[in-house]
Structure 1
Amino acid sequence: MFVLEKWIEGVTDAERAELTSIIDKPDQIKERFGTELEFGTAGMRGILRLGTAGMNAYTVKRATKGLADYLEASAKDPKVVIAYDTRRCSREFAAAAAGVLGAKGINVYLFEDVRPVPICSFAVRYIGANAGIMITASHNPKEYNGYKVYGADGAQMSPEDTAAVVSYIKQNDYFGIPCTEVPADFKEGDKYGTIEVIGSAVDEQYFRELDKILLSKDIVAERGKDIKLVYTPVHGSGYMPVTTMFTRLGIQANVVAEQIAPDPDFSTVKVPNPENKETLRMGIELGKQIGADVVLGTDPDSDRLGVALRLDNGEFVSLSGNQIGILLMDYIIMRRKELGILPANAAVVKTIVTSTLADRLAEANGVTVFNVLTGFKFIGEKIKEWEASGEYTYIFGFEESYGSLAGTYARDKDAVAAAVMFAEMMLYLESRGLSVYKRLKAIYSEYGYYVESNSSVQYSGAEAMKEMSAVMAKLRTENVAELAGIPVIAVKDYLNGTVKSAAGIGETGLPKSDVMYYELPDKQFVVFRPSGTEPKLKLYVSVFAKGEATATEKAEKVAAAAKELLK
């Protein structure tokens, strides 16, 4: 009760009623104050509510004070970029973070309005900042918000730097943190001490970088006005940058009018997640009305792109993150080869749970594929490594969860670039008498059908996390020789860093992570990975067959066999 009483005393009069209403509700007290909101390599994310376990102005200020202390100890005259999405309280949290940094005399570059993740990542690099803060909960439900931190390279902070920031955060209280006042109506050009409000000048540099990665601008200029494409920002931060690029390139896309305006409730969708097929429902409806071939949708912070393609019968099919990534990768390699600009040391980076169809496609075209752990920061690390060594040239990176990056101007997923490049690819293929869907089928015809399925097992109760950990421990002790009759040719335990196969025991060569990977013939796999934020065990399956129906049936059988291992 002491912590609750301290908060009741410390919050504003307007906020106090929210806490006094739970004084006699021990379950709610424990829910809000039983833990502190965890600060990891991806920052913080939680439900918007008062308390140490919630996303609120006090947890934001405390985290920012810790970041400020860390920067003062590790950098001379530090600079920080701050951006935010359309979620509830995002602008207020951004202003609060700017105020805490400003009170410490740190130079702050605060965006005047909502911006997507990729512009924040780019801005850190362009300005030469030491860190970046992005207020977003990405595609989570409307009740959530979050606080993402970038390092000087525009990528998520390393585990070592994150641990250092956390040590500083823990030294601070939630109340009494000095804060420079930033008015609610701050606008571009305003200055408040060391806080500068930025906008269009940085946007312009970002748009120039996107222009550089495009590969068929002549075709786009010729055909863009006749494109049959629908775009929806799903009430998020993608509208301005995506439509700006479309307009500059002469692409006349049809935008879902009802989903343009920022809406923290995302009231036209169940959840603003492109992985959910329902998210593109309104876009597909418009697509049917106008006879569009493609529907594109970006999530609230515009780091993930959803796509639906029109079939010959007029219906639409939603693509998986794997399929979107494969199509973009195929286009980049194919077009670079045609233009004679595919580097001899070209490399693609993907996560270990992303389709191995990418490996086959790359190998056939003389491109090297590197697999990294889940999390786009690991893709960013490869870019940084090769920029220093010159050993490989990065041309594309993607993950099955709908994120990709086609350039090195940023270090996080960029759905703005993905949307623009997808439109360019569509026009390029049309100029060759193909549709995007026909090209996807051609890829499968050439390399075989890879079908992926992602699912999860939810655990509940007070011991949920322990139960999930016990299941992972059990998997590590079992000898799994086959799954649905398919032999397991290698078992990769990323927590212990080992690879067990008929050849003996080797090393994974990747950082330690609580992941079990079962390798099957023909680059097929089954992977178990616990969620880092909730008691949910994720299962990834990728199988191969000559035909689509056979591959789909095979995926179902392998997934069922994999789930049996959890019992």
Structure 2
Amino acid sequence: MEHLKLYQKWLDDENIDEKTKEELRTIKDDEEEIQDRFYKQLAFGTAGLRGKIGAGTNRMNRYIIKIATQGLAEVIKARGKEAMDRGVAIAYDVRHYSDEFAKTAALVLAESGIKVYLFEGIRPTPELSYTIRKLNTMSGIVVTASHNPKDYNGYKVYWKEGSQILSDIAEEITEEIDKITDFSKVKEMDEKEAKERGLLNIIGKEIDDDYIEMVKGLSLRDDIDKDIKIIYTPLNGTGNKPVRRVLKERGFKNVIVVPEQENPDPDFTTVGYPNPEDIKAFEYSEKLGEKENADILVATDPDCDRVACMVKDDNGKYASLNGNQVGAILINYILESRKEQNSIPENGAIVKSIVTGDLGKTIAKEYGVETIDTLTGFKNICGKANEFERTKEYDFIFGYEESIGYVYGTKVRDKDAVISSMLLAEAAGYYKSQNRTLIDVLNDIFEKHGYYSENLFSLVLEGIEGQKRIKRMMEVYRKEYLKEIKGAKLSKFIDYQIQTETDFVTNETNKIDINPTNGLKFMLDDESWYAIRPSGTEPKIKIYIYAKGDTLEKAEEKVENIKLAVMEKLNSVE
């Protein structure tokens, strides 16, 4: 069988170190584990690479990093000496082997004659995006698995605009990767030689200072209560220094960090699953918040590109705000502030993903700002910022998605939790000066625009069989979708894979202008909708639900009805 041949090939390969081979020998009697590690090569896509750390073709290790980086090197080399001299910026997070993987990538690029700017230590992902633009590099790499569990790592590639690569560049890199037949074809330059030849350049404080000044320059107002008490947790990730520095330099005096989660910890000992979208990540923050009587709790994920918050309610308890709600509050704060300053551009736009709720769109419309929908992922959201820069069709103001990712302005072309944390603190301080909390603001928005509720849930299906079942679920639901849920009838169906929208009111099917992806969206006649898609980075199928009602209770009831109906249908697929 092919996976056993590949397993033996790694054991026999003189280019693979003894420590890696020893790890492989420990699983010699576990064919299921061997199969999982070798049944495929970790696929390089528009999200780069992401997977469990370990030896094997379907794992994150320095050999897979080398091959991917050589693929990138060939793509850059094909663009000539100017592209090679512009080079590549590289950042990495706190995870196991992140520093080693980053250095490996740097030395593979150097061997190909490509200049590299490598950060001296851990840095947040958005700072990498900023650095690409600041240093005018051709590309960028960040070694991170974002909010995945501790046994994962990843490798994301960016292009010259500072945003993640889209399918065109990803396909070029994949073509070059496929040409590499064995590890002997990929070489690393000696680190000392790379430095002496000016191919490896270590960067740090000077970029940090520029980045922090840029973030502070995006602040919107100073007529705020800066004594607001904030509990902050970086969840043992890269956000600790930049977020605290920005808040301090903006004058927020009462920022208290969760001590157990302050410093880097690749095992995420206190949280396990370091995803601030999950309310369990706030356990330590809530305890500290209650002790300190804090107004707001803020958490960033390990690579500090996503941010979540909880707010003290009227009962003194902390209520969680989901990604759609935080997005709506930020849009409201940004546009309210800019209207006062008379600085909303005539052709201003916010950009959101197709699975992000519509409340932000409703607020934007009130201020004369357009809302553009894209496929999921900030590579697509900031891809629109790149497009607007070229066409001048719109002026990009804000981008966001329901999975707690936000960016304001165009200096960073990825979601940025440093910028977003500052704006959240500002908004909380501004509304506190009016004796209002962020919950009060959200309720005011609901009263004005209608009550919105949403839910995201996933079915996790790991391994080969799990991937096959996810594929079957998508195939079955695509053909046997629900026509009615609790009296709400299907009005529109969008199949993003074949780029069509079917209107059941007019009985017309039309093409849509959006890149193809494996996703489905269903609109009901009561203003509810839901979407289904496989995750691009995790072994799960994701279901997004959104509903509007006359009251919050009615909206929540609609969400629950959709969830139960869709779950029943998906679980019936064996």
How has the CA–CA distance of structure 1 residues 522 and 330 changed in structure 2, closer, same or farther, with 3 Å as cutoff?
farther
What TM-score results when the alignment is normalised by the length of structure 1? 0.95
Equivalent in the alignment of 1:6: 9
Q: Secondary structure at the match of 2:173?
A: helix
CA contact (8 A) 2:66 2:104 kept: yes
Equivalent in the alignment of 2:434: 432
Equivalent in the alignment of 1:39: 44
Equivalent in the alignment of 2:519: 515
Per the TM alignment, residue 195 of structure 1 is displaced from its structure 2 partner at its CA by 0.4
- Counterparts of 2:121 and 2:348, CA distance in 1: 37
Per the TM alignment, residue 500 of structure 1 is displaced from its structure 2 partner at its CA by 0.9
Per the TM alignment, residue 24 of structure 1 is displaced from its structure 2 partner at its CA by 2.9
2:138 to 119, 130, 143: 130
How big is each residue's C-alpha offset from its partner over 1:219-278, in whole Å with a ceiling of 9 and x where there is no partner?
A: 25xx32x22111111110001111111121111211112211110001110210011111
How big is each residue's C-alpha offset from its partner over 1:406-449, in whole Å with a ceiling of 9 and x where there is no partner?
A: 01011111011100110011111122221111111111111111
What TM-score results when the alignment is normalised by the length of structure 2? 0.94
- Counterparts of 1:413 and 1:202, CA distance in 2: 18
- Counterparts of 1:145 and 1:177, CA distance in 2: 21
- Counterparts of 1:534 and 1:92, CA distance in 2: 23
- Counterparts of 2:188 and 2:462, CA distance in 1: 40
Supply the RMSD in Å over aligned alpha carbons: 1.8
How has the CA–CA distance of structure 1 residues 84 and 533 changed in structure 2, closer, same or farther, with 3 Å as cutoff?
closer
What residue identity is the alignment partner of 2:554?
T
Equivalent in the alignment of 1:165: 173
How has the CA–CA distance of structure 1 residues 430 and 396 changed in structure 2, closer, same or farther, with 3 Å as cutoff?
same
Per the TM alignment, residue 355 of structure 1 is displaced from its structure 2 partner at its CA by 0.9
1:196 to 201, 204, 227: 201
CA contact (8 A) 1:356 1:524 kept: no
Equivalent in the alignment of 1:538: 542
Equivalent in the alignment of 1:272: 274
Identity of aligned residues (%): 38
How has the CA–CA distance of structure 1 residues 267 and 152 changed in structure 2, closer, same or farther, with 3 Å as cutoff?
same
- Counterparts of 1:534 and 1:144, CA distance in 2: 10
Structure 1 residue 359 corresponds to structure 2 residue 361:
yes
How has the CA–CA distance of structure 1 residues 119 and 533 changed in structure 2, closer, same or farther, with 3 Å as cutoff?
closer
Equivalent in the alignment of 1:80: 88
Equivalent in the alignment of 1:235: 236
How has the CA–CA distance of structure 1 residues 243 and 196 changed in structure 2, closer, same or farther, with 3 Å as cutoff?
same
Per the TM alignment, residue 522 of structure 1 is displaced from its structure 2 partner at its CA by 5.6
1:198-213 alignment to 2 at 5 Å?
198-213=203-218
How has the CA–CA distance of structure 1 residues 305 and 191 changed in structure 2, closer, same or farther, with 3 Å as cutoff?
farther
Q: Secondary structure at the match of 1:61?
A: helix
- Counterparts of 1:460 and 1:263, CA distance in 2: 26
- Counterparts of 1:235 and 1:468, CA distance in 2: 32
What residue identity is the alignment partner of 2:365?
E
Q: Secondary structure at the match of 2:442?
A: helix
Unmatched tracts of structure 2, length 5 or more: none
Q: Secondary structure at the match of 1:197?
A: strand
Equivalent in the alignment of 1:286: 288
How big is each residue's C-alpha offset from its partner over 1:487-537, in whole Å with a ceiling of 9 and x where there is no partner?
A: 221111111111111231122221111111111246421111122345522
- Counterparts of 1:85 and 1:463, CA distance in 2: 31
CA contact (8 A) 1:94 1:135 kept: yes
CA contact (8 A) 2:496 2:520 kept: yes
Per the TM alignment, residue 182 of structure 1 is displaced from its structure 2 partner at its CA by 3.3
How has the CA–CA distance of structure 1 residues 95 and 462 changed in structure 2, closer, same or farther, with 3 Å as cutoff?
closer
Q: Secondary structure at the match of 2:411?
A: coil
- Counterparts of 2:27 and 2:390, CA distance in 1: 55
Q: Secondary structure at the match of 1:87?
A: coil
CA contact (8 A) 2:47 2:537 kept: no
Equivalent in the alignment of 1:102: 110
What residue identity is the alignment partner of 1:546?
D
CA contact (8 A) 1:69 1:168 kept: yes
1:460-479 alignment to 2 at 5 Å?
462-478=464-480
1:527 to 527, 531, 545: 531
- Counterparts of 1:523 and 1:337, CA distance in 2: 29
Give the paired residue count. 558
1:334-373 alignment to 2 at 5 Å?
334-373=336-375
1:553-564 alignment to 2 at 5 Å?
553-564=557-568
CA contact (8 A) 2:150 2:272 kept: no
CA contact (8 A) 1:346 1:394 kept: yes
Per the TM alignment, residue 19 of structure 1 is displaced from its structure 2 partner at its CA by 1.5
CA contact (8 A) 1:49 1:56 kept: yes
Equivalent in the alignment of 1:296: 298
Equivalent in the alignment of 1:488: 490
How big is each residue's C-alpha offset from its partner over 1:52-89, in whole Å with a ceiling of 9 and x where there is no partner?
A: 11111111111111111111012433200000000111
CA contact (8 A) 1:182 1:192 kept: no
Equivalent in the alignment of 1:147: 155
